[in-house]
Structure 1
Amino acid sequence: MKSKQWIRKHKWVWISALILLLAALLFIPIYEAYQSISDPLAERQSNLREEALQLEKKEPFSVLLLGVDDDGEVRRNAGTIMVLTVNPAVQSIKLLHIPRETRVDIPGQDQPDKLNHAYKTGGVELMMETVEEFVDVPIDYFVKINMEGVEDVVDAMGGITVENEKAFSYEGYHFRKGRISLDGKQALAYIRMRQLNENGEEERHERQQKVIEEVIRKGADLQSLTHYDKIATALMNNVKTNFTIKEMFQIKKHFQAALQHLDSINMQGSAKKINGVYYDVIDDSEIKKISEILQKHLDY
């Protein structure tokens, strides 16, 4: 395990998922869509909130974004873990990337464990509780996507276009320098490549940022999305959430401007071997700093 090498794969999918959930519901039968993506945790209220969240009053909210590789009904570890906070007053989003192997206290366990094990042990609910305690901010909602469906989401948008800084080949694809168009499979290969040189991980992060910006730009411009049936199918087959239909429309009404202003946050830590197991260890001072940023953004 390399120090400070964080899991960033597919982070762009979550922003598009939130936006496209709203778009899809406008153009497909609402009951069918909601039955496909809804989860029984819809009534959950964060333990850190004394009063229920009211989106109709434009109150800031948070979302846990999970990328999983479930096999049918069998839960596996969560490979991508992020916290997204949305504040309509300042019209912005903050997106925190948490390394999946971060050493944390998991409710109900006697010893610290890797964060991604919380999902395998107790599903989304335990994952929300664990992250909530770790960053000390309320977690109001979740969006979970099966990573096998990432290609479908990008393809449903009709592909994306990015500016590529360096030509390279990977997984059978050649990416020339300059502005290039990517379909779902190509987008995955584009952000996975990290072995160009000693700065491979940093350059991969930059490519991911480009993809994020393009997906947000295209996803937020609902008028540019023409394949609504494909978008709906991609989401219904691969996404689960505890947003209600009413909440989705409230977000579209009050929060869409914020969805176009994204600020990414990365936790700084190091890889350490503890009792024979490697973890990503985040110092208390770093956790406190991140918590204060998110708390301020949530007006919490």
Structure 2
Amino acid sequence: MVYSIPRDSLAEMADDHGGNIQKINAAYEIGKAKMAKKTVSQFLGLPIDYSVTVDMGALKELVDFVGGITIDTVIDVNLNGQVIPQGHHHLNGDQALAYSRMRYQDPRGDYGRQLRQQEVLKQVAQKIQKSKYLMNIGDLMTKLGQKISTDFTADQVKQLIRNYHQSSGEIVSSQLLGKTAWLNGSAYQIISTEDLQAASNRLREN
């Protein structure tokens, strides 16, 4: 299951001080993956054992590694010189990166971007299970180097690929939806307690 959390969600940082309320994406800036993992865990009331941090450059490499992805876009995407008009397209890594990153021109804002990011990740996951890609996964990981960081061990990564590479067709995605509130001149997304609990329950069941 893939669950997206709005980057501007109002959340308490999982630090030693308590009461540090900020946008949830600030957790990574404060304490990198360790703080982000603890903050998201606290936010959802859900244990999170491991994390993977994927640099945007790694996303480009992943898409090129699987020979590109095919998308249907209902909006025009224009970012960093990459122009993808409405319609059906096969994207390379650079195009997929632009498709995943554009936010301001999307009438749905960050929520629209989340859906596009989920689409790209699911397609990569579905394609990478093919034997011709799995055989070269070690070379890919070496190439990506510092663009991907994780607290999984190398043996755990191999075990995950071995045990779950055929489950990509069963990926279900969802997103938390909030309401906009302005606090001290900044826009936040406020997620209701009911929606947080529903997401926590669904993730636990999964």
TM-score range, shorter chain: 0.7 to 0.9
Matched length: 203
2:39 matches 1:121: no
- For the pair shown, which has the larger CA radius of gyration, 1 or 2? 1
Displacement of 1:286 in angstroms is 0.8
Q: Is the 8 A contact 1:144 1:241 kept in 2?
A: yes
Displacement of 1:285 in angstroms is 0.8
Q: Is the 8 A contact 2:56 2:97 kept in 1?
A: no
Aligned-residue RMSD, C-alpha: 3.1
Match of 2:96 among 151, 169, 187: 187
Identity of aligned residues (%): 27
Q: Is the 8 A contact 2:13 2:21 kept in 1?
A: yes
Which ranges in structure 2 are unaligned for 5 or more consecutive residues?
none
The code of the aligned residue for 2:53 comes to: K
Which residue of structure 2 aligns with residue 137 of structure 1? Answer: 46
Q: Quickly say closer, same or farther: Cα 1:235–1:288, change in 2 above 3 A.
A: same
Which ranges in structure 1 are unaligned for 5 or more consecutive residues?
1-93
Mapped to 1, the partners of 2:74 and 2:160 lie a distance apart of 38
Q: Quickly say closer, same or farther: Cα 1:260–1:130, change in 2 above 3 A.
A: same
2:12 matches 1:105: yes
Q: Quickly say closer, same or farther: Cα 1:112–1:170, change in 2 above 3 A.
A: closer
Mapped to 1, the partners of 2:154 and 2:138 lie a distance apart of 18
Displacement of 1:204 in angstroms is 5.8
Give the TM-score taking structure 2 as reference length: 0.79
Q: Is the 8 A contact 1:165 1:177 kept in 2?
A: yes
Q: Quickly say closer, same or farther: Cα 1:180–1:244, change in 2 above 3 A.
A: same
Displacement of 1:234 in angstroms is 3.7
Q: Quickly say closer, same or farther: Cα 1:195–1:286, change in 2 above 3 A.
A: closer
Q: Looking at secondary structure, tell me which structure has more helix per residue.
A: 2
Displacement of 1:251 in angstroms is 1.7
Which residue of structure 1 aligns with residue 182 of structure 2? Answer: 273
Q: Quickly say closer, same or farther: Cα 1:195–1:256, change in 2 above 3 A.
A: same
Q: Match of 1:272, SS?
A: strand
Mapped to 1, the partners of 2:106 and 2:47 lie a distance apart of 40
Higher relative contact order (CA 8 A, sep 6+): 1
Mapped to 2, the partners of 1:151 and 1:236 lie a distance apart of 14
